[in-house]
Amino acid sequence: MEPKTYMTKRIDGDYAHLVDTETGEEILMARALLPEETDEGTVLRWENFVYIVAE
């Protein structure tokens, strides 16, 4: 699987709404699977089934 880049659109309790920056597709992801410092507007990179904050 190739890496994907997401932007955190909204945080809703234990879940975050992520938007794929290439396709615009929105997904719902459990906050427990995201880096602790994730906040609205944070850009994340998904690679090897792990989310990291993009630099």
Q: At the top level of CATH, which class does the domain 4-53 belong to?
A: mainly beta
Residue with tokens 């690679």: 47
Q: Given a cut of 90, is residue 52 above it in pLDDT?
A: yes
The model's confidence at residue 55, banded by pLDDT at 50, 70 and 90, is confident
Count CB-CB contacts under 10 A for residue 4: 17
23: left (phi over 0), alpha (psi -120 to 50) or beta: alpha
Instruction: Write the pLDDT tens digit of every residue in 7-43.
Output: 999 999 999 999 999 999 999 999 999 999 999 999 9
Domain assignments of the chain as residue spans, ordered by start: 4-53
